[in-house]
């Protein structure tokens, strides 16, 4: 009987100690997985889209992307680039196509204001739920172009000589494929797009 009383007292004391103990710290939320070293999203810059929203380039992580650079006052090759982006995206069957976005960044942020980008997107019938026409700060344009492997040069008349390529990024921002075939579909590039979109989360 004495032993039973001692045991009960010990249990009561232990319960009191536990009740007075500070609550355990909540488990830490798992950290976001690190970007691959070859991801273009490692570049720390912000883009402002035709809707006026400014976001880090890395905010596009998680979805396959068709990426290019252009400028809205271009009347020669840039409209063909946009047409080729349209054709390439349409070559991906539904519902996979809904997991493929398009990003076109201006070489010409001085003239390509948010309003200019918005007007161009409306004129070309580009669906804002999947198409982003964007501008970067002037000092960020060349680093982005270099990272994407695109070249450009401003001419005295204000227009640009520039590379004309479509670039495919996977969900982590790695360059998977690229093509300089403009004005028609590149079957090898389309195959890479379909495969990358199928593998995306």
pLDDT bracket for residue 23 (50, 70, 90): very low
Domain that residue 119 falls in: 40-199
Q: Is 40 in contact with 175 (CB distance < 8 Å)? A: yes
The CATH number that applies at residue 116 is 3.40.30.10
pTM: 0.83
Q: Would 73 be classed as within a structural domain?
A: yes
At 66-76, the pLDDT tens digits run 999 999 999 98
pLDDT at residue 16 tops 60:
no
Average pLDDT of the chain is 88
* Number of compact structural domains in the chain: 1
Q: Would 55 be classed as within a structural domain?
A: yes
At 105-123, the pLDDT tens digits run 999 999 999 999 999 999 9
Q: Residue 33: what pLDDT? A: 81
Q: Would 72 be classed as within a structural domain?
A: yes
Q: Is 71 in contact with 64 (CB distance < 8 Å)? A: no
Kindly provide the residue ranges of all beta strands, DSSP E only, lying in the chain, ordered along the sequence. Answer: 46-49, 54-56, 64-70, 100-106, 131-135, 152-154, 160-162, 166-169, 175-179
Q: Would 134 be classed as within a structural domain?
A: yes
Query: Residues 10-42, buried b or exposed e (16+ Cβ, 10 A)?
Result: eeeeeeeeeeeeeeeeeeeeeeeeeeeeebbbe
Q: Residue 24: what pLDDT? A: 44
Q: Residue 201: what pLDDT? A: 77
- Here the tokens at position 192 are 């890479």
């Amino acid at each position: 009987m004495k032993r039973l009383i001692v045991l009960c007292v010990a249990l009561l004391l232990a319960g009191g100690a536990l009740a007075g103990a500070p609550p355990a710290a909540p488990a830490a939320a798992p950290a976001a997985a690190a970007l691959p070293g070859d991801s273009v999203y490692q570049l720390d810059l912000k883009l402002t889209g035709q809707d006026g929203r400014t976001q880090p380039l890395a905010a596009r992580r998680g979805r396959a992307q068709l990426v290019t650079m252009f400028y809205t006052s271009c009347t020669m090759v840039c409209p063909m680039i946009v047409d080729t982006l349209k054709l390439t995206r349409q070559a991906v069957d539904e519902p996979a196509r809904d997991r493929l976005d398009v990003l076109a960044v201006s070489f010409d942020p001085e003239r390509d204001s948010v309003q200019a980008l918005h007007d161009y997107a409306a004129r070309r019938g580009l669906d804002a739920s999947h198409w982003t026409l964007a501008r970067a700060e002037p000092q960020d344009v060349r680093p982005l172009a270099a990272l994407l492997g695109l070249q450009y040069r401003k001419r005295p008349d204000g227009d640009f000589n520039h590379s004309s390529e479509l670039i495919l990024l996977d969900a982590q921002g790695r360059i998977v494929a690229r093509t300089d075939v403009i004005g028609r579909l590149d079957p090898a590039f389309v195959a890479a797009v379909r495969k990358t979109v199928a593998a995306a989360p």
